[in-house]
Amino acid sequence: AQTVTQSQPEMSVQEAETVTLSCTYDTSESDYYLFWYKQPPSRQMILVIRQEAYKQQNATENRFSVNFQKAAKSFSLKISDSQLGDAAMYFCAYRRGDDMRFGAGTRLTVKP
């Protein structure tokens, strides 16, 4: 089974600063997808960004970008110009077909 590891249970960042959340995964497949989801206290899982494994170019969505290192099986999320609304639990996820696996999550706190 594929495993997803987030080694940072909690992270903190000052408003307007940049923070990077780490994620590593284990797979023997070459074709898969990686995601970062955000879960605020409202509980709804919100897609932040996604990366297709066959694409070498790192995905970017406004203030959010990833550093995808396929050989190292690493998929980190960088949040630039952090805002108070970014405070949430962040889950890294691996998907192949309809089977999606999540990491344990990183709780991000944003300090004003």
Partner 1 sequence: DTEVTQTPKHLVMGMTNKKSLKCEQHMGHRAMYWYKQKAKKPPELMFVYSYEKLSINESVPSRFSPECPNSSLLNLHLHALQPEDSALYLCASSQDNSGSAKNIQYFGAGTRLSVL
Contact footprint for partner 1 (CB under 8 A) = 31, 33, 35, 37, 42-47, 50, 52, 91, 95-105
Query: Minimum distance between the CB of residue 90 and partner 1, rounded to whole angstroms?
Result: 11
Judged by CB, which is closer to partner 1: 52, or 81?
A: 52
Count Cβ atoms below 10 Å from residue 36 Cβ, excluding itself: 26
Query: Minimum distance between the CB of residue 105 and partner 1, rounded to whole angstroms?
Result: 6
> Could you tell me if 35 and 92 are in contact, meaning their C-beta atoms sit under 8 angstroms apart?
yes
Euclidean distance between CA atoms 75 and 66, whole angstroms = 7
Query: Minimum distance between the CB of residue 31 and partner 1, rounded to whole angstroms?
Result: 6
Kindly state the tokens that stand for 88: 């949430």
